[in-house]
Structure 1
C-alpha cells in the first residue's frame, strides 16, 4: 500500500511512486489480453481496493482500506460486505493517520486473515469467517508500524506480515498468538522521508519455499529463502528499478512475477532475469493498482484511485499463455 494523500474531508492514504522504463515485449503478441472492469467502487465512501484473495470459484475478496471493510466480488460483479473492522476513535497510523485494512490472505477452509493498522492497540492481524462475520484480533503488532502485505503459509501454519514503516517481516502463528520478527535488514527498510515516501517492505507472497517481498522506496523485489528450521535466509534481490511497486503475484510456478506499479497505473511482467514488459496501463482501466492475483489464466487487479481520483475498481484480464509457460 502506498502513502495516502489527505482529502479535505478526511485523512486518506496512498501508495505509490515513480514510473519505470519498461523493456519492450518479446514478440508481437501481448502476454495479457482482454482487460475489462468487473466492479466499480465509491471513492467518497472510502472504498479503496487495497489487496485481494481469491475464492475457489474465481470470485474475489478485497480489502477496502479506508472503509475498513472486506468485500466479496461475485463472478457477475456484484459485491457484498463480509466484515467491517472496528472503528478507532483516534487513529494515529504512521504516515497515513487513518485506520486502514490492508493485506488479506485466504486459507483453504475459507477463513480470511487481514492486517489492520490504526496506530493503537488494534493494530495487528485479524481473522474473519469465510462467509463473513465479526472480525477477531489474533495477534497484536506494534502501533508505530504499518502492517501492509499479508501472506499465509498453510504448510507451516504461519502468517507473514510486511511492515512498511518498520521495514521488516513479522511471523504470526495461524492460530494466533505472539508475533515474532522473522526478517529484518536494510533491504526491507524504507528510505528517509522526505524525499522518499517512507514505505519499505510492502507486498508479500509465499512461493516455493521462500517469502518474496517488494520494497516500495527501494523499487526492488526480494526473495527470502525459508530455512529448514523456519528462519529467514539472506535476502536476494531479484529485480530493481520497479518504481512505485506495491503488491504482486506469480502467474506460474517459476520466478516470473506480475507486479502492480501504483503511481504509474501499470502492471508489469517481471521475468527471472529482471527484464520487464508493461502488460496493462491506465488505458486499460487501471487506476493506481495496488495488488495482483492470478487464477489459471485470469488476472485480477484492484485499483484504489488514490492519486488519479477516478474510478476505484477491480479489473480482470487474461493471460495469453498457460501459466506453466511463465
Structure 2
C-alpha cells in the first residue's frame, strides 16, 4: 500500500496550485499512536463526552480514545487466511468507516477480501462485534454515514465506485448509485461520505472531487460536482457553511466554501490525514502515517472564524 500511495503522492501533489490563501487553524497533537502495533487510524466518530472512537486500519481494530488520551481496544476482527491479499488496491484486511449512534452503539466496516467476513458490523457496549450486512468481497467498503431520520446507512466502495444502502437494523445491502463520478481512475474512487440536509456528500480520491447527490424519495438525484482539484481527498465534515476535508498524500486539511473555493486550514503535525470531525470550532483530525510511517496521531485544532 505504501508504494501505491507514494505514487499517488507524486501525481496528486500537484493538485493544489489553485488553492485560495490559507486561514490557518491553531493545533496540537493530542494523542500519538503506535505504528508498530498497527495503530494507523482510518476513521473516527465522536461521543458527547469527547471520546473518539476510531478504526485502526492495519490492526483490524476498533478502539476508544478518551479525552485524556487513553486508548482502549474494543474489538479486533479476525485476519483472513490470506491476510487480505484479495482486498482490491491495498492487499491487506482493514477496518474502515465508523459511526456512533446516540445510544452508544458503534457501527463499522471491515474489508477482508473474504465473503464470510467483509461487511458492516454492529458493536454494542460490552459485547462482541456482529456482522449485520454482507458487502461485496471484491470491493473495498470505505466510508460510512447514517441518515438518522431514514434509519439508513450509506456506504462507499472505493474499488467498485459505488454507494450502497443498508437498513439501520441490518439486512441486504443495495447499490444506491454507481454514477461515473464515483469511479476509480487508477487507485481508489468514492471515499469519504456524509449525509446532510437531504443529500449525500461524498469524495472521490482519484478524481479529486467533492460531490453532492440529492436524496429524492430515497433515490439518488443527479450528481453535483461541488469542488475539484482536491488531490488525495479522503474524509469530510461540515463546519457551518464550509466543508472541511482531509487531503491524504498532500498532508493538508482544507476548507471548501459554497463556491468550491479551497483554503488551507492545517498542515502542522499531519501525517497523511485520513479523517476529520467537527464539534463547535474544534477540529479532530486523524493521521494514519500510511506514507510517512512515523507518527500516526490525533490532532485537536481550533477553526478560524468564517
TM-score range, shorter chain: over 0.9
Match of 1:220 in 2: 209
Q: Structure 1: how far apart are the matches of 2:261 and 2:148? A: 31
Deviations 1:218-272 (A, max 9, x none): 0000000011x211111100000000000111012x3x11100000110011111
Tell me if structure 2 keeps the 8 A contact 1:214–1:220.
yes
Shift of 1:13: 7.8
Tell me if structure 1 keeps the 8 A contact 2:177–2:220.
yes
Residues 38-53 of structure 1: pairs in structure 2 closer than 5 A: 38-53=30-45
Tell me if structure 2 keeps the 8 A contact 1:200–1:218.
yes
1:44 alignment partner, SS class: helix
Tell me if structure 2 keeps the 8 A contact 1:15–1:246.
no
Give the direction of change, closer, same or farther, for the CA distance of 1:138–1:45 in structure 2 (3 Å limit): same
Match of 1:277 in 2: 263
1:291 alignment partner, SS class: strand
Q: Structure 1: how far apart are the matches of 2:203 and 2:181? A: 10
Residues 1-326 of structure 1: pairs in structure 2 closer than 5 A: 4-5=1-2, 17=9, 18-19=12-13, 20-21=16-17, 22-25=19-22, 30=23, 32-33=25-26, 35-90=27-82, 91=84, 92-121=86-115, 122-129=117-124, 131-191=125-185, 193=186, 198-227=187-216, 229-252=217-240, 254=241, 256-281=242-267, 284-321=268-305
Q: Structure 2: how far apart are the matches of 1:69 and 1:53? A: 14
Q: Structure 1: how far apart are the matches of 2:165 and 2:238? A: 21
Match of 1:9 in 2: none
Shift of 1:23: 1.0
Shift of 1:15: 10
1:97 alignment partner, SS class: coil
Give the direction of change, closer, same or farther, for the CA distance of 1:135–1:14 in structure 2 (3 Å limit): farther
1:127 alignment partner, SS class: strand
Q: Structure 1: how far apart are the matches of 2:7 and 2:156? A: 14
* Structure 1: segments with no counterpart, 5+ residues: 7-11
Tell me if structure 2 keeps the 8 A contact 1:83–1:132.
no
Deviations 1:114-141 (A, max 9, x none): 1100111111101111x35311000011
Q: Structure 2: how far apart are the matches of 1:304 and 1:135? A: 23
Tell me if structure 2 keeps the 8 A contact 1:219–1:242.
yes
Tell me if structure 2 keeps the 8 A contact 1:14–1:306.
no
For this pair of structures, how many residues does the alignment match?
A: 298
With normalisation by structure 1, the TM-score equals 0.88
Give the direction of change, closer, same or farther, for the CA distance of 1:267–1:313 in structure 2 (3 Å limit): same
Tell me if structure 1 keeps the 8 A contact 2:24–2:264.
no
Shift of 1:87: 2.1
* Structure 2: segments with no counterpart, 5+ residues: none
